[in-house]
Amino acid sequence: MSSRRDFFKKLVEPISSVKEEPTPTFLRPPYTNDLTLFDKECIECESKACAKACDENIIVIEAKGTPILNFRKSGCTFCQDCANACKRDVLKITDNNEKIYATFLINKQSCMAHNGSICFSCKEPCIDDAILFKGMFEPIIDSEKCTSCGFCLSRCPTNAIEYIIQGA
């Protein structure tokens, strides 16, 4: 005879065995107005010209075959080379698409400055002056100025710069 616990395990088992894998969300290169094109068009592209054209080497091709941004070593200069190289018109230059769909934030718990150490590692590479300091120990990112280029992310010694992907 089975116990109540076994009975409830059997009830829950079909639900728990059907686990949907979350769709990975990546930072995509700039110069697009339609993020769905990456999954539709880029997987068919054999040249991967956008990644080859990137002088900063921040565009990498993920397992499914689509371009993503990797800011570990550098950031985006918005040079337009990736868009000019794109043969499928996923990346194309228009009046209002020189942006990366992300909002950058500073994790106060990880940030050296927020924890009493003098550190300007994120501010120094920011060409848009989007990182402001209230005093010496309170850096904040001005979302109006930030282009999400990623240079601050690559320079932070404690990985305190985080981002939230928009439109994904």
- Condensed to tens digits (0 to 9), the pLDDT of residues 65-87 reads 999 999 999 999 999 999 999 99
**93 and 30, same domain (yes or no):** yes
CATH of the domain at 68: 3.30.70.20
Sign of CA dihedral 97, 98, 100, 104: negative
**47 and 90, same domain (yes or no):** yes
pLDDT at residue number 8 = 46
**Structure pTM?**
0.80
Tell me the pLDDT tens digit for each residue of 5-34. Answer: 565 455 445 444 444 444 447 899 999 988
Residue from 82, 164, 161 nearest 125 by CA: 161
Q: To the nearest 10°, the Cα dihedral for 91, 97, 25, 23?
A: -70
Q: Which domain holds residue 68?
A: 24-99
